[in-house]
Amino acid sequence: MRSVASHARWGVLPFALVVTLVLLAAGSATAYWRASGSGSGSGDTGTTSALTLSPATATAALFPGGQASVVLTVTNPNVASVRVGSLALATSQGTGGFAVDGAHSGCGLATLSFATQTNAGAGWTVAGGGNLSVTLTNAISMTAAAANACQGASFTVYLSAGP
């Protein structure tokens, strides 16, 4: 038979081993979580360029009291896609944003109007390094008071892109 001292020795040894392992693990965890560090970072978006809009042209002949669609091309020279929220008349170009061909110089451009376009609120997305052809349905109008000199004229519409 074994003695009581022998049993006590074998019971204490596993207990001491477990306590030692727990203390080692706790010390390692504490060292891991106490570690600190620092750093810094930076980024660069590069330079961006403005979009280019070709002058819009009417897709059909305008007549007094009528409307026509216009087409234009939006060019994006940037790497990233760009969203255009609206296309509005650029009144600082041409005559109030319009021009007429030379054969119809007697046509008063004040009879023309352009409705700002938003693509039903969705705008347009122009891919990076790409072109987008845009048709604006019935966007140009001519009042019924337009002179006969406007009949058969070719019109240019100058537009600007908005957010």
Domain boundaries, the chain: 1-36, 52-162
pLDDT in tens, the chain (163 residues): 555 555 555 555 566 656 666 555 566 656 555 656 677 777 666 788 999 999 999 999 888 899 999 999 999 999 999 999 999 999 999 999 999 999 998 899 999 999 999 999 999 999 999 999 999 999 999 999 999 888 889 999 999 999 9
Report the alpha-carbon distance of residue 131 to residue 86 in Å, rounded.
Answer: 16
Contact 98, 58 (CB under 8 A): no
- DSSP result, the chain: ---HHHHHHHHHHHHHHHHHHHHHHHHHHHHHHH-----------------EEPPEEESS---TT-EEEEEEEEE--SSS-EEE-EEEE-TTTTBTTEEE-GGGTTS-GGGEEE--B-TTTT-EEE-TT-EEEEEEEEEEEE-TT--GGGTT--EEE-EEEE-
pLDDT for 46 equals 75
pLDDT for 75 equals 98
Q: What is this structure's pTM?
A: 0.70
pLDDT for 95 equals 95
Architecture of domain 52-162: Sandwich (2.60)
Contact 139, 71 (CB under 8 A): no
